[in-house]
Amino acid sequence: MLDFKRYKVLTFDCYGTLIDWESGILNALRPLLTAHQIQLADDQILTEYAAIEAELEAGAYRPYRQILEGVVEQFGQRFNFQPEPEETAALPDSIQNWLPFEDTVAALRQLQQQYRLVILSNVDDALFAGSAKHLQVAFDDVITAEQIGSYKPALQNFQVMMQRVGLPQDQILHVAQSVHHDIQPASSLGLSTVWVNRRQSQAGAGATPVAEAEADLTIPDLQTLATLTSSVRR
């Protein structure tokens, strides 16, 4: 078990960890695919999404809005249809409607009583602003891919985060759902990690590429972390 008294800052991935991004992705892409007579199971949509997004993020940096527009365009290429401009914009436009998991807001409020909270997310500042309204918590810092000019799992994103937090890395605990984007790179830098395995009852990796890494702690949801840390006293 982690010594939660040792940490001063919790850093969070946002989408997939705090925000139910898989429901958001599916709600945006299903109507688009149906409109073009493409019938895919939800798992197929998420697997295609994971592969396309990772490929686009690994290239030269461009804003996340453009990454998501590129995802729609790539779906069109893979399944032989040409999306209209409004269809291309539908996925990034939908982010403002993606909602937190049921446990997120209460758990964040509880955790904030003990720790500084920081976001480290593969997103644009403007897109995160829409999500911040749903999260209902004032974070101590919000660090986005737009600010850094690269996407996780790039180590640079975690290095910038550690610089901005301004504390020894053994006082930082990184909390995330994606092994590929977060647990693997954060662990490689010596950061303590918590894997929020929100897909524990489902097969596959969903909207993230398959990856392997050992987190220091695995939990099914954020409320579990809030409960585990509830005895910490400063």
CATH number at residue 129: 3.40.50.1000
The position carrying tokens 């960890």 is: 17
| Mean pLDDT across the chain | 97
Do 90 and 116 belong together in one domain?
no
Residue numbers of the domain that contains 186: 4-20+98-228
Residue 234 has pLDDT above 60, yes or no: no
Residue 152 has pLDDT above 60, yes or no: yes
Query: What is the three-class DSSP state of 15?
Result: strand
The answer to whether residue 93 is catalytic is no
Query: What is the three-class DSSP state of 194?
Result: strand
Residue 229 has pLDDT above 70, yes or no: yes
In a domain? residue 234: no
Do 35 and 59 belong together in one domain?
yes
Do 66 and 132 belong together in one domain?
no
Q: Structural domain tally of the chain?
A: 2
Residue 45 has pLDDT above 80, yes or no: yes
Domain limit, last residue, from 82, 97, 112: 97
Q: What is the pLDDT of residue 20?
A: 98
Do 107 and 73 belong together in one domain?
no
DSSP state at residue 108: H
Domain limit, last residue, from 41, 76, 97: 97
Domain limit, last residue, from 97, 128, 153: 97
CATH code, domain carrying 69: 1.10.150.750
Cα separations (Å) of 136 from 31, 107, 108? 29, 11, 9
Residue 144 has pLDDT above 80, yes or no: yes
* pLDDT tens-digit readout, 168-212: 999 999 999 999 999 999 999 999 999 999 998 888 899 999 999
In a domain? residue 111: yes
User: 232 or 50, which is more confident?
Assistant: 50
Dist CA 73 CA 99 (whole Å)? 25
> Span 113-138, mean pLDDT?
98
Catalytic site residue from 3, 13, 124, 140: 13
DSSP state at residue 45: H
* Burial class for 29, CB neighbours closer than 10 Å (0-12, 13-18, 19+): buried
Dist CA 82 CA 93 (whole Å)? 19
* Burial class for 101, CB neighbours closer than 10 Å (0-12, 13-18, 19+): buried
